[in-house]
Amino acid sequence: MAAAIETKQLTKTYKSKSRNLTVVDKLDLHVEEGEIFGFLGPNGAGKTTTIKMLLSIIEATSGEGYILGKELGDFDVHKLISYVPERPYYYEYMTGLEILKFYGSLFGISDVAHMQNLLERVGLADARNTNKTINQYSKGMQQRIGLAQALLNDPKLLFLDEPTGGLDPIAHREIRDLILGFREEGRTVFISSHELSEVELICDRVAIINHGVIVAQGKLTDLLAGGRVEILVGKLDRGVFSDMKIEDGNIHDTPAGVLFDVPEGSDVNAIIDGARAKGGQVVSIVPRKKRLEDLFVEAVRNK
Ligand SMILES: Nc1ncnc2c1ncn2[C@@H]1O[C@H](COP(=O)(O)OP(=O)(O)OP(=O)(O)O)[C@@H](O)[C@H]1O
Ligand SMILES: [Mg+2]
């Protein structure tokens, strides 16, 4: 599959009289078409700076970048992409529909039925029907109008900066479902986010950036491989299993029984069969998945 975003050694250095500050350092990003990509990193890591370079809002100091195959700085590609900033700024006294008409006019889009559909799609039909203006919108509604605006030009690639920041759990889920819908329609979504549990639920691949440098990048399923499985067997103690061979696993005595702690992908059936053959009672089997939060903390702390 073609790359939606590709950067090679992309670098941004802010120069001042006293010193040069490199805030994005030789970034090699690879985002495939049709995937949801999570761009993560602590505050000040260089995420927004990177997005601004990808959108050609600021110029890279060195390196290369390609958006949908076009080199950075080629503004033709902007017809095919869209961007929702973390805190979008809208004219306060416009209604949602007026906002869409305004942004539509910038793209030469005037199809009002299309705009009405978008308002419905992002869950703003009520606000439309009651003619609410943006200053009467809640935070969640403002995020939604941002997404409606981002869909106006039927983009192939969307950049979303913190799309679920400050939302309640129901709004979270609705926005998440909308974003998953974008992928179903074949769009590529580049999300910068601090909400790791959210990212874990929707992203195909992620990159973690720290001090301008990528410290981890890849498929989430690969990055989060290496979880464990815990099997608790009651009625016995550890000695009974002294002849059982368990690769890369541990066996502990606990008040509730013997706990087998083995790598994800181990032959759990064999352990259960072995335990039962010795008269053990299987109490529980609990997968302990590796969490994105653990990966994030490890990757950021070690660099
Ligand atoms: N115009 C500028 N001149 C000098 N330094 C800048 C400028 N813009 C950003 N920086 C610095 O670049 C670094 C990266 O900032 P950036 O906004 O890209 O971080 P971020 O990863 O988006 O953080 P956050 O999660 O807080 O949004 C910070 O140290 C910031 O102070
Ligand atoms: Mg930022």
The answer for residues whose C-beta is within 8 angstroms of residue 278's C-beta and 6 or more apart is 236, 240, 241
Which residues have a beta carbon within 5 Å of ligand 2, which is an ion?
47-48
User: Residue 42 CA: which ligand 1 atom is closest?
Assistant: 25
Q: What is the 25 CA–ligand 1 centroid distance (Å)?
A: 13
pLDDT band (50, 70, 90) for residue 243: confident
Sheet containing strand 250-254, strands side by side = 250-254, 257-263, 228-234, 281-288
How much is the pLDDT for 14?
A: 95
How much is the pLDDT for 248?
A: 79
For the segment 96-115, the average pLDDT, to the nearest whole number, is: 93
Residue of 188 and 265 predicted with greater confidence: 188
* 248, 262 contact by CB (below 8 A): yes
The model carries a pTM of 0.86
Most informative mutation of 14, 23, 40, 55 for ligand 1 (most atoms within 8 A of CB): 23
Encoded tokens for 161: 């900066």
Q: What is the 172 CA–ligand 2 centroid distance (Å)?
A: 20
pLDDT tens-place string over residues 219-236: 999 999 888 999 999 877
Q: What is the 214 CA–ligand 1 centroid distance (Å)?
A: 15
Q: What is the 41 CA–ligand 2 centroid distance (Å)?
A: 9
Tell me the C-alpha distance between 150 and 142, whole Å.
Answer: 12
Query: Structural domains in the chain?
Result: 3-222 (3.40.50.300), 228-292 (3.30.70)
Pocket of ligand 1 (CB under 6 A): 14, 21, 23, 41, 43-49
Q: What is the 46 CA–ligand 1 centroid distance (Å)?
A: 6
pLDDT band (50, 70, 90) for residue 209: very high
pLDDT band (50, 70, 90) for residue 303: low
Most informative mutation of 14, 51, 162 for ligand 1 (most atoms within 8 A of CB): 14
For the segment 237-260, the average pLDDT, to the nearest whole number, is: 82
pLDDT band (50, 70, 90) for residue 274: confident
How much is the pLDDT for 245?
A: 73
CA torsion sign for 58, 54, 104, 137 is negative
Q: Does the pLDDT at position 172 exceed 90?
A: no
Q: Which of 183, 95, 96 is nearest to 146 (CA)?
A: 96
pLDDT band (50, 70, 90) for residue 45: very high
pLDDT tens-place string over residues 1-12: 579 999 999 999
How much is the pLDDT for 1?
A: 57
